[in-house]
Structure 1
Amino acid sequence: MLMMLGAASQWILAAAAAAAVAALLWLAVSTLEWAWWTPRRLERALRAQGIRGNRYRLFTGDVPENVRLNREARKKPLPLGCHDIIPRVLPMFSKAVEEHGIVLSLQRISSFNTKQY
Protein backbone atom coordinates (compact mmCIF):
# COMPACT_ATOMS: atom_id res chain seq x y z
CA MET A 1 0.00 0.00 0.00
CA LEU A 2 2.81 2.43 0.83
CA MET A 3 4.50 1.60 -2.41
CA MET A 4 1.34 2.44 -4.34
CA LEU A 5 0.99 5.70 -2.44
CA GLY A 6 4.58 6.58 -3.35
CA ALA A 7 3.96 5.85 -7.01
CA ALA A 8 0.75 7.88 -6.95
CA SER A 9 2.47 10.84 -5.32
CA GLN A 10 5.22 10.65 -7.95
CA TRP A 11 2.56 10.85 -10.68
CA ILE A 12 0.94 13.81 -8.94
CA LEU A 13 4.31 15.54 -8.61
CA ALA A 14 5.09 14.87 -12.28
CA ALA A 15 1.68 16.20 -13.33
CA ALA A 16 2.13 19.31 -11.17
CA ALA A 17 5.60 19.89 -12.62
CA ALA A 18 4.26 19.48 -16.16
CA ALA A 19 1.45 21.93 -15.41
CA ALA A 20 3.95 24.44 -13.98
CA VAL A 21 6.19 24.13 -17.05
CA ALA A 22 3.17 24.54 -19.33
CA ALA A 23 2.04 27.63 -17.38
CA LEU A 24 5.52 29.18 -17.57
CA LEU A 25 5.74 28.42 -21.28
CA TRP A 26 2.31 30.00 -21.87
CA LEU A 27 3.37 33.06 -19.84
CA ALA A 28 6.60 33.39 -21.83
CA VAL A 29 4.83 33.10 -25.19
CA SER A 30 2.08 35.55 -24.24
CA THR A 31 4.67 38.04 -22.95
CA LEU A 32 6.65 37.68 -26.16
CA GLU A 33 3.44 38.19 -28.15
CA TRP A 34 2.60 41.34 -26.17
CA ALA A 35 6.08 42.87 -26.09
CA TRP A 36 7.54 41.92 -29.47
CA TRP A 37 5.30 40.22 -32.03
CA THR A 38 2.25 42.52 -31.81
CA PRO A 39 4.22 45.80 -32.08
CA ARG A 40 6.28 44.41 -34.96
CA ARG A 41 3.13 43.22 -36.75
CA LEU A 42 1.53 46.65 -36.26
CA GLU A 43 4.66 48.40 -37.50
CA ARG A 44 4.70 46.21 -40.62
CA ALA A 45 1.02 46.91 -41.30
CA LEU A 46 1.46 50.67 -40.90
CA ARG A 47 4.49 50.71 -43.19
CA ALA A 48 2.53 48.73 -45.79
CA GLN A 49 -0.07 51.53 -45.72
CA GLY A 50 2.63 54.15 -46.24
CA ILE A 51 2.72 55.46 -42.67
CA ARG A 52 6.33 55.99 -41.72
CA GLY A 53 7.70 56.40 -38.23
CA ASN A 54 10.41 55.43 -35.83
CA ARG A 55 11.42 51.79 -35.56
CA TYR A 56 10.15 49.79 -32.58
CA ARG A 57 12.72 49.37 -29.80
CA LEU A 58 11.82 46.82 -27.15
CA PHE A 59 13.03 48.26 -23.85
CA THR A 60 13.97 51.87 -24.48
CA GLY A 61 11.60 53.03 -27.18
CA ASP A 62 12.23 56.66 -28.11
CA VAL A 63 13.35 57.71 -24.62
CA PRO A 64 17.10 58.13 -25.37
CA GLU A 65 16.38 60.17 -28.49
CA ASN A 66 13.77 62.23 -26.62
CA VAL A 67 16.25 63.01 -23.82
CA ARG A 68 18.91 64.02 -26.37
CA LEU A 69 16.50 66.27 -28.27
CA ASN A 70 15.28 67.92 -25.05
CA ARG A 71 18.87 68.68 -23.99
CA GLU A 72 19.71 70.14 -27.40
CA ALA A 73 16.55 72.27 -27.45
CA ARG A 74 17.24 73.75 -24.02
CA LYS A 75 20.85 74.63 -24.89
CA LYS A 76 19.83 77.05 -27.64
CA PRO A 77 18.13 80.28 -26.58
CA LEU A 78 14.98 81.43 -28.35
CA PRO A 79 15.43 84.50 -30.55
CA LEU A 80 13.92 87.68 -29.18
CA GLY A 81 10.29 88.07 -30.22
CA CYS A 82 9.99 84.45 -31.33
CA HIS A 83 6.65 82.90 -30.45
CA ASP A 84 7.34 79.52 -32.06
CA ILE A 85 7.92 77.55 -28.86
CA ILE A 86 6.93 74.08 -30.11
CA PRO A 87 10.49 73.06 -31.15
CA ARG A 88 11.65 74.13 -27.68
CA VAL A 89 8.85 72.59 -25.61
CA LEU A 90 8.16 69.46 -27.68
CA PRO A 91 11.29 68.79 -29.75
CA MET A 92 10.39 65.13 -30.38
CA PHE A 93 6.98 66.10 -31.77
CA SER A 94 8.49 68.87 -33.86
CA LYS A 95 11.10 66.51 -35.34
CA ALA A 96 8.45 63.86 -36.09
CA VAL A 97 6.29 66.40 -37.92
CA GLU A 98 9.32 67.60 -39.92
CA GLU A 99 10.34 64.05 -40.89
CA HIS A 100 6.99 62.30 -41.31
CA GLY A 101 4.38 65.02 -41.69
CA ILE A 102 1.19 65.20 -39.65
CA VAL A 103 -0.76 61.95 -39.57
CA LEU A 104 -4.39 62.38 -38.53
CA SER A 105 -6.94 59.64 -38.34
CA LEU A 106 -10.28 60.13 -40.09
CA GLN A 107 -12.10 59.52 -36.83
CA ARG A 108 -10.46 62.52 -35.19
CA ILE A 109 -11.01 64.75 -38.19
CA SER A 110 -14.70 63.85 -38.34
CA SER A 111 -15.10 64.36 -34.59
CA PHE A 112 -13.80 67.94 -35.00
CA ASN A 113 -16.57 68.68 -37.51
CA THR A 114 -19.43 67.27 -35.43
CA LYS A 115 -18.75 69.02 -32.11
CA GLN A 116 -21.29 71.59 -31.00
CA TYR A 117 -19.75 74.79 -29.64
Structure 2
Amino acid sequence: MTRLYRTIASASAAVGALALAGCAVQPTSTILSRLPEPATATGDARALTPAERKRYDEIDRQVLREQNDAIAADAAMRAWSYYAPYYAPAPVTFYGGYSNGGWGPRWGTGFGYGYPGW
Protein backbone atom coordinates (compact mmCIF):
# COMPACT_ATOMS: atom_id res chain seq x y z
CA MET A 1 0.00 0.00 0.00
CA THR A 2 2.87 2.40 0.72
CA ARG A 3 4.24 1.82 -2.77
CA LEU A 4 0.95 3.03 -4.23
CA TYR A 5 1.07 6.16 -2.06
CA ARG A 6 4.67 6.83 -3.11
CA THR A 7 3.74 6.47 -6.76
CA ILE A 8 0.78 8.82 -6.38
CA ALA A 9 2.87 11.35 -4.42
CA SER A 10 5.74 11.33 -6.92
CA ALA A 11 3.34 11.60 -9.86
CA SER A 12 1.58 14.53 -8.19
CA ALA A 13 4.90 16.23 -7.54
CA ALA A 14 5.96 15.75 -11.16
CA VAL A 15 2.67 17.15 -12.48
CA GLY A 16 2.94 20.13 -10.12
CA ALA A 17 6.53 20.81 -11.18
CA LEU A 18 5.58 20.68 -14.86
CA ALA A 19 2.62 22.98 -14.28
CA LEU A 20 4.80 25.52 -12.49
CA ALA A 21 7.53 25.23 -15.11
CA GLY A 22 5.01 26.26 -17.75
CA CYS A 23 4.49 29.56 -15.92
CA ALA A 24 8.17 30.50 -16.04
CA VAL A 25 8.65 32.35 -19.33
CA GLN A 26 11.68 34.50 -20.05
CA PRO A 27 10.82 38.16 -20.73
CA THR A 28 11.20 39.32 -24.30
CA SER A 29 13.41 42.28 -23.32
CA THR A 30 15.57 43.37 -20.44
CA ILE A 31 14.04 45.08 -17.44
CA LEU A 32 16.05 48.25 -18.02
CA SER A 33 14.64 48.67 -21.51
CA ARG A 34 11.13 48.96 -20.04
CA LEU A 35 12.00 51.89 -17.75
CA PRO A 36 11.03 55.38 -18.90
CA GLU A 37 13.66 57.80 -20.05
CA PRO A 38 15.12 60.01 -17.28
CA ALA A 39 13.82 63.21 -18.91
CA THR A 40 10.23 61.95 -19.09
CA ALA A 41 10.29 60.56 -15.57
CA THR A 42 10.67 63.98 -13.95
CA GLY A 43 8.06 65.74 -16.07
CA ASP A 44 7.29 69.41 -15.66
CA ALA A 45 7.82 70.03 -11.96
CA ARG A 46 6.62 73.46 -10.92
CA ALA A 47 8.13 75.30 -7.99
CA LEU A 48 6.19 75.26 -4.74
CA THR A 49 4.73 78.46 -3.44
CA PRO A 50 5.89 79.60 0.01
CA ALA A 51 2.50 78.63 1.49
CA GLU A 52 2.72 75.13 -0.01
CA ARG A 53 6.29 74.71 1.17
CA LYS A 54 5.30 75.82 4.68
CA ARG A 55 2.38 73.37 4.73
CA TYR A 56 4.57 70.48 3.51
CA ASP A 57 7.21 71.32 6.11
CA GLU A 58 4.54 71.23 8.83
CA ILE A 59 3.36 67.84 7.58
CA ASP A 60 6.96 66.57 7.55
CA ARG A 61 7.52 67.73 11.12
CA GLN A 62 4.26 66.12 12.25
CA VAL A 63 5.13 62.83 10.56
CA LEU A 64 8.61 62.80 12.09
CA ARG A 65 7.21 63.61 15.54
CA GLU A 66 4.61 60.81 15.30
CA GLN A 67 7.23 58.42 13.96
CA ASN A 68 9.56 59.19 16.87
CA ASP A 69 6.68 58.67 19.32
CA ALA A 70 5.86 55.32 17.73
CA ILE A 71 9.51 54.24 17.82
CA ALA A 72 9.78 55.23 21.49
CA ALA A 73 6.57 53.36 22.34
CA ASP A 74 7.81 50.29 20.49
CA ALA A 75 11.15 50.44 22.32
CA ALA A 76 9.38 50.74 25.67
CA MET A 77 7.10 47.82 24.81
CA ARG A 78 10.09 45.69 23.86
CA ALA A 79 11.88 46.62 27.09
CA TRP A 80 8.87 45.77 29.26
CA SER A 81 8.08 42.59 27.30
CA TYR A 82 10.90 40.87 29.19
CA TYR A 83 8.74 41.05 32.33
CA ALA A 84 5.42 40.37 30.60
CA PRO A 85 5.25 36.59 31.20
CA TYR A 86 5.46 37.13 34.97
CA TYR A 87 3.28 40.22 35.29
CA ALA A 88 0.72 39.36 32.64
CA PRO A 89 -2.81 39.30 34.01
CA ALA A 90 -5.09 36.37 33.40
CA PRO A 91 -6.78 36.68 30.01
CA VAL A 92 -10.31 36.44 31.46
CA THR A 93 -11.49 36.97 34.99
CA PHE A 94 -14.79 35.45 36.07
CA TYR A 95 -16.39 37.78 38.59
CA GLY A 96 -13.01 39.05 39.65
CA GLY A 97 -11.47 35.67 40.39
CA TYR A 98 -9.75 32.77 38.74
CA SER A 99 -8.33 29.45 39.80
CA ASN A 100 -4.68 28.80 40.50
CA GLY A 101 -2.49 25.80 39.95
CA GLY A 102 -1.78 24.04 36.72
CA TRP A 103 0.88 25.09 34.26
CA GLY A 104 2.31 28.13 35.95
CA PRO A 105 1.72 31.08 38.25
CA ARG A 106 -1.60 32.87 37.83
CA TRP A 107 -2.85 30.38 35.24
CA GLY A 108 -5.17 27.57 36.17
CA THR A 109 -6.72 24.42 34.89
CA GLY A 110 -9.82 24.33 37.08
CA PHE A 111 -12.79 26.54 37.78
CA GLY A 112 -12.58 29.42 40.18
CA TYR A 113 -15.21 31.81 41.44
CA GLY A 114 -14.64 34.99 43.34
CA TYR A 115 -16.79 37.97 44.09
CA PRO A 116 -15.11 41.30 43.24
CA GLY A 117 -13.22 42.44 46.29
CA TRP A 118 -12.73 38.99 47.85
| TM-score, length-scaled by structure 1 | 0.34
**CA radius of gyration, larger in:** 2
Kindly indicate whether structure 1 or structure 2 has the higher relative contact order, using CA contacts under 8 Å at least 6 residues apart: 1
